[in-house]
Amino acid sequence: MAGETLPPMPPERLIELNDVAVHFSLREGLVRAVNGVSYHVNKGEVLGVVGESGSGKSVTVRSIMRLQPKTALDAGGAIRFRLPDGSVTELNRLPRDGREIRSIRGRHIGMVFQEPMTALSPVHSIGTQIARTYQLHTGASKEAARNRAIDLLARVQMPRPREMVDVYPHQLSGGMRQRAMIALALTCEPSLLIADEPTTALDVTTEAQILDLLRSLQAEFGMAIIFITHNFGVVADIADRVAVMYLGRVAETGTVDQIFYHPKHPYTRALLQSIPRLGQKRVHRLKTIPGMVPDPFNIPAGCVFHPRCEHAVAGRCDVAEPASRTFDGGQIARCHLADSLPELVS
């Protein structure tokens, strides 16, 4: 779908993905890693994107940043992003390493990863890295940039920020390194922060601290966040809305309450039944989703979830791919039976 055929973005909308497809051309064949993904994030909103590995959630956000490997092909769709002056740019039409996307990356869109050393240089102090990014995008003086680094380290609750500004990433613990990467991502107060599994490698206590920090920084800076995770519990903690992805498609989107209390897609329901839930009335044996995510070279016909779906209808679900349907309150689900499944009992 070409960007110019789409209706204008509503004023509250910061980023909108319409029917985005990303394929990889490999020696073994074509991998359709992302195949028609649509979701949006409004200004100041937190979208949790959840799914098993192989769902395409990380590939999708990397295509927002134009950080795909060379084998990735932009196979269609539009990614529209609103700049602070109100104009809208189509990110997936920008050259991958061109001046325009480089001026957006790090300035208007920040990114934090699971592994901080993906973003942090091992040979420069964390203060130098933050200061250089600040100078690059704002032309600030060296002294102002160093002060900015100290201020940001204080805001991410780094102890003794005036001393820590001169330490190197390898001198920090995993949690402190994650704080340094968040400070770097927030250097220019981006309107969008993309957080790709930022707490997955951390222990439970440090994970809770980083989630608290992200929540308070989101309130302080007013930025929107796309938070990628495979952990539904984390989504409940941080997100306003949720997109559930499966095999390169969005299975369902809705508010946290819609997704947690009235899920309409069997995959969302299966994920929810596989995690312990606070306030559950009875002790349930947690369910596992049968089977594996299919081989990406061999995508099932019809509904891609049908080989693992306990509600699949032979002759329908294995033949016809369901379209996305919008329900009351804006909840969207891609399932033939979305309006006829029984309510989940907790």
Judge contact between 264 and 337, C-beta under 8 A: no
Query: Least CB distance from residue 52 to ligand SF4, whole Å?
Result: 15
- Of 127 and 266, which CB lies nearer to ligand SF4 in the complex structure? 266
Answer yes or no whether residue 336 interacts with ligand SF4 by CB under 6 A: yes
Q: How far is the CB of 264 from ligand SF4 (least distance, A)?
A: 9
Does 303 sit near ligand SF4 (CB under 6 A)? yes
Does residue 266 interact with ligand SF4 by CB under 6 A? yes
Binds ligand SF4 by CB under 6 A, chosen from 89, 312, 324, 327: 312
Q: How far is the CB of 251 from ligand SF4 (least distance, A)?
A: 7
C-beta separation of 329 from 258 below 8 A: yes
Interacting span for ligand SF4 (CB under 6 A) from 20-28, 104-112, 222-230, 305-313: 305-313
Binding test (CB under 6 A) with ligand SF4, winner from 242, 271, 306, 331: 306
Contact 40, 80 (CB under 8 A): no
Beta strand 88-90 pairing with 72-82: antiparallel
Residue 335 CB, shortest distance to ligand SF4, in Å, is 3
Largest CA-CA distance found in the chain, in angstroms, rounded: 69
* Rounded CA separation 227/26 (Å): 29
Q: In whole angstroms, what is the distance from residue 45 CA to residue 197 CA?
A: 18
CA triplet 153, 181, 244: central angle to 5 degrees? 130
Strands 46-50 and 224-229: parallel
Residue number with CB closer to ligand SF4 (57 or 334): 334
Long-range contacts of 320-324 (CB under 8 A, 24+ apart): 324/38, 324/250
End-to-end CA distance of the chain: 40
Q: Is 15 helix (H, G, I), strand (E, B) or coil?
A: strand
Q: Are residues 341 and 333 in contact, defined by beta-carbon separation less than 8 angstroms?
A: no
Q: Does 249 bind ligand SF4 (CB under 6 A)?
A: no
Residue 295 CB, shortest distance to ligand SF4, in Å, is: 18
CA 215 to chain CA centroid, Å, is 15
* β strands within the chain, DSSP E: 13-26, 29-42, 46-50, 72-82, 88-90, 109-112, 192-196, 224-229, 241-246, 249-255, 325-326, 332-333
- Using the rule CB under 6 A, give the single segment among 59-67, 162-170, 176-184, 331-339 that binds ligand SF4: 331-339
Pick the piece of the chain touching ligand SF4 (CB under 6 A) from 54-62, 90-98, 139-147, 308-316.
Answer: 308-316
Considering the rule CB under 6 A, would residue 108 count as an interface residue with ligand SF4? no
* Segment interacting with ligand SF4 (CB under 6 A) among 95-103, 213-221, 228-236, 298-306: 298-306
Shortest separation between residue 302's beta carbon and ligand SF4, angstroms: 7
335 is a site residue for ligand SF4 (CB under 6 A): yes
Rg of the Cα atoms in the chain: 21
Residue 154 or residue 313: which is nearer to ligand SF4 going by CB? Answer: 313
248 interacts with ligand SF4 by CB under 6 A: no
Residue 209 or 324: the one with the smaller Cβ distance to ligand SF4 is: 324
Q: Does 322 bind ligand SF4 (CB under 6 A)?
A: yes
215 is a site residue for ligand SF4 (CB under 6 A): no
Residue 270 interacting with ligand SF4 (CB under 6 A): no
The count of residues interacting with ligand SF4 (CB under 6 A) is 14
Closest by alpha carbon to 15, among 44, 57, 35, 49?
44
Residue from 272, 266, 267 nearest 339 by CA: 266
262 contributes a contact to ligand SF4 by CB under 6 A: no
Residues in the site for ligand SF4, rule: CB under 6 A? Answer: 265-266, 303, 305-306, 309, 311-313, 317, 322, 335-337
